[in-house]
Each structure stands twice: as C-alpha cells, then as structure tokens.
C-alpha cells in the first residue's frame, strides 16, 4: 500500500475543507480530528470519510459556517448548540469549554446538541490528557443496534472514550462502541465479503445473521453481550445511558430518530431533537490527587495487568489503547498506508476541488 505522511493528509483535508467554505481555523481542526483516526489505525473514521463530509457540506445538509453557541451554563456545566456544523469542529470547541471549566472548578460537564459525527471519541479524551485532565466522552449515533430482546434498530453503536496518563508508559486509551462489534467492522466485512461472528447481528426477521448484507439490509447489530445469557441487557443499558445523556438530556435527537451520517442513509420518521448529541466530561486530576504519583500508579497498574497469566501462552494481555498507540508511533514516522480505492477517492476530490492530492 502507498504510504502518506500524516502532515500531507492533514494539509490536503484542511485545504479541501476550506474550499468547501469552512473557515481556516475550523478546517485545521476538522483535518486534525480526521487524520488522528488514520494515525491511530482507525481507518474507518479517517480520510476514507472525507468525501462523505464534503458531500454533506456541498448539499447543505451540514453548515460550513455554524454559529456555535453556549445556550446555558453554570459554574461547571454548559449546554452547547452546534448549529448543525461539522461534528469535527463542534466537538473540539465543546471539549475546550469542558477543559476550561474543569480547570476552574475541578470538573465540568458539557452537553452538546445539534452536532454531527465527531470523528473518533479518543481524540477528545486525549486532548483532555494534554491539560492533565481526565476526559470522559460519549456520543450518540444513528440507529444500528437492537435493544436486548428486540428485532429492529433503535439505538446507535454509541461509543464511549476515556484516557489515563502514564508516567513512562503511553496512556491507557479506552474507545469502544457499546455494540458487540462496531459499525466500522460490519462495513469492513461487507466490503471484503466476509461474515461477522455469530452473536453480532440479526436479519430483518430478528434471526441470528452472520452475513453483513443481511444485517445491513434491514437487520440490526446486537448490543455488547450478544445474548440474554451473556448479558446483552448490559450492552443495551450502556447504549441507553449514552443515548439518554447525549440525546434526550441535551435536546439532541435520540434512539431511532438520530439522523444518519452519509447522505444515502435513513430518514428518521420523526423529529425529536436537534442533530446528534455529545457529552464531554472533564476532571482535573490534581483536584483529586497529585498528578505525578497518579501517573506512577497508572504505570504500576499497566505492569500488573500485562503480567497476567495469559489464556494463550503466546499472547500477552494487552492494555486498552496498545494497538492504537503502536500504530500512532509507527505511522508518525513511516506514514499512513492507504488502500488504492481510498487514494482514488482522494485524487478525485483533488481534481474536483483543484487541490492536487499527490
């Protein structure tokens, strides 16, 4: 695969966003969030999606120049209206508010409505870490998941992210959807024509399905836990919590009514709120403990978990974020590998916008 420096992809994305009337600062931010996904090896959320974001801007589905406003606040909370801007811009702005407020009062809660897909959730928890804050981040997403015991899509894959700083160890980074598999993995199986494991999805009649087509074509993903016996109600609880906090609480859409991300997606049958909702929670570490000793304890926690007797002798127990941290380390120096189809898409965007990709 051809490899591209992250700076190159970031520059290209920024210029292309600008050409779509996104203000310079916002374009820089959006390009940064987008390429952070490629850097961390979460290709499904990276420049692969640039075209989809541009389509939404071109069609007016998403505003290039939103007026992001704080519609209500207290000392340590804010409710932000993203004015239907790019989630890649609304997200970082709202996260900054959480970081600033937490720096003053110790912890802060920022609810966001009227936003759109905000990229990888880990971008935000990692931003908080840079300020010695712990960031807990959630977002609701378009309906792809059946509630436990249900046979149709009613909830998003609703991810959650949080990160913890080590002293000499790289940070622990949790970033997970609350369904058995993410929508990205389902899409990947669809593209490659492979099946997903039993327990990840159902078809349009509510029967267990492993073919991506059956799950995508009117079926649904299953919540984390997969079956009643193994705790699918718990995955459902997590998705519900995130939908209630991100959607219902702050006045965004929720459940089956969350608007879809790509243009060719479903149209919600009812309008129950404004766009997609996020939650950014930030805690100043030094409000609770000395950050230096905390980081040393996190290192120790990492060492203890790594030393767990493994189930397979050859495979050591991993720490959340290991794979992504390693990808980031490698890709920062040797570039980001892009499959030919993605390169072709980016070249096409380059031709249309007059900003050459290579």
Residues 198-257 that bind a copy of itself (CB under 8 A): 199-200, 202, 206, 224-226, 229-231, 233-238, 240-241, 243-245, 248-251, 254-256
Other C-beta atoms closer than 10 Å to the C-beta of 87 total 25
Query: Interface with a copy of itself includes 29 (CB under 8 A)?
Result: no
Q: Interface with a copy of itself includes 272 (CB under 8 A)?
A: yes
The smaller minimum CB distance to a copy of itself, of residues 35 and 226, is found at 226
If one asks whether residue 305 binds a copy of itself (CB under 8 A), the answer comes out as yes
Measured from the CB atom, the residue of 14 and 284 that comes closer to a copy of itself is 284
Q: For 323, phi and psi rounded to 5 degrees?
A: -60, -45
Does residue 72 touch a copy of itself according to CB under 8 A? yes
Torsion-angle region of residue 99: left (phi > 0), alpha (psi -120 to 50) or beta? Answer: alpha
Among 70, 263, 288, 352, binds a copy of itself (CB under 8 A): 288
Closest by CA to 66, choosing from 30, 119, 100, 38, is 30
Query: Cα-flanking dihedrals φ and ψ of residue 136, to 5°?
Result: -110, 125
Q: DSSP for 89-108, please give it.
A: HHHHHHHHHHHHHHHHHSEE
44 binds a copy of itself (CB under 8 A): no
Least gap, CB of 250 to a copy of itself (angstroms): 6
- Minimum distance of a copy of itself from residue 104's CB (angstroms): 8
Which CB, 263 or 304, lies closer to a copy of itself? 304
Helix 87-105 / helix 24-39 crossing angle, nearest 10 deg = 90
327 binds a copy of itself (CB under 8 A): no
**Distance of alpha carbon 354 from alpha carbon 9, whole angstroms:** 16
Which one, 218 or 339, has the nearer CB to a copy of itself?
Answer: 218
Q: Is 246 exposed, middle or buried (0-12, 13-18, 19+ CB in 10 A)?
A: buried
Among 105, 194, 334, 351, binds a copy of itself (CB under 8 A): 105
């Amino acid at each position: 695969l051809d490899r591209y420096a992250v700076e190159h992809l970031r520059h290209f994305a920024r210029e292309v966003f600008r050409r779509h009337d996104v203000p310079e600062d916002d374009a820089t931010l959006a390009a940064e969030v987008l390429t952070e996904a490629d850097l961390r090896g979460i290709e499904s959320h990276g420049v692969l999606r640039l075209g989809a974001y541009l389509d939404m801007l071109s069609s007016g589905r998403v505003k290039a120049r939103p007026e992001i406003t704080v519609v209500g606040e207290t000392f340590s909370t804010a409710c932000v209206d993203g004015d239907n801007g790019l989630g890649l811009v609304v997200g970082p702005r709202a996260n900054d508010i959480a970081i600033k407020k937490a720096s003053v009062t110790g912890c802060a809660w920022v609810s966001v409505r009227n936003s759109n897909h905000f990229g990888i959730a880990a971008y935000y928890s990692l931003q908080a870490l840079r300020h010695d804050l712990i960031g807990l981040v959630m977002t609701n997403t378009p309906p792809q998941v059946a509630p436990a015991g249900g046979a149709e899509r009613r909830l998003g894959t609703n991810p959650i992210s949080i990160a913890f700083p080590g002293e000499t160890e790289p940070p622990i980074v949790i970033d997970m959807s609350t369904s058995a598999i993410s929508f990205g993995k389902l899409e990947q199986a669809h593209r490659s024509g492979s099946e997903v494991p039993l327990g990840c999805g159902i078809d349009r009649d509510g029967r267990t399905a492993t073919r991506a087509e059956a799950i995508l074509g009117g079926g649904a993903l299953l919540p984390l836990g997969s079956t009643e016996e193994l705790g699918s109600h718990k995955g459902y609880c997590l998705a519900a919590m995130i939908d209630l906090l991100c959607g219902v609480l702050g006045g965004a859409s929720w459940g089956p009514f969350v608007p879809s991300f790509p243009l060719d997606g479903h149209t919600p049958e009812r309008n129950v709120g404004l766009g997609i909702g996020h939650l950014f929670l930030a805690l100043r570490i030094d409000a609770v403990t000395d950050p230096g000793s905390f980081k040393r304890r996190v290192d120790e926690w990492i060492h203890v978990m790594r030393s767990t007797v493994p189930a397979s002798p050859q495979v050591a127990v991993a720490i959340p974020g290991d794979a992504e941290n390693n990808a980031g380390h490698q890709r920062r120096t040797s570039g980001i590998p892009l499959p030919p189809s993605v390169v072709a898409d980016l070249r096409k965007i380059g031709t249309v916008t007059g900003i050459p990709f290579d």
